[in-house]
Amino acid sequence: MTEFFEPELSAWRGRMPLWKVFWGHGVLVSSLLVWIYALANYQDRVVLREVTILVFAAYTVWVLVAIWRCTINANRFWGSIARWLVVAWAGNIAMLLPFLQLDLLLR
């Protein structure tokens, strides 16, 4: 089981190259989760939207910590840019997810 999750564990420990974690886990996987949420919203599948919000929240915590930790593996400039983007990303999610949840509760 550990071997299967080795890339994720390596990212969590800050041992992966920053670009792989940022673009692969951060941008690609997060975009996939947003796409799933948008599809569930379009199809009015409330339970899937709720599950996606919970998965996205947990995944976001993991990926932001992983990106932050992997900044030590990058050029100082790119590491600094990545950390600023992590802060902005966290602020965006902290404001977005409660409103998405509120929208579901008011249905």
Number of domains, the chain: 1
Q: Within a 10 A sphere around the Cβ of 11, how many other Cβ atoms?
A: 26
Give the pLDDT score at 70: 98
CA–CA gap between residue 91 and residue 7 (Å, rounded):
26
5 assigned to some structural domain: no
96 assigned to some structural domain: yes
81 assigned to some structural domain: yes
Res. 1 pLDDT band, cuts 50 70 90: confident
Residue range(s) defining the domain that contains residue 49: 16-105
10 assigned to some structural domain: no
9 assigned to some structural domain: no
pLDDT tens-digit series, residues 44-62 = 999 999 999 999 999 999 9
CA–CA gap between residue 86 and residue 65 (Å, rounded):
8
* pLDDT for 83 beyond 90: yes
8 assigned to some structural domain: no
2 assigned to some structural domain: no
* pLDDT for 107 beyond 90: no
63 assigned to some structural domain: yes
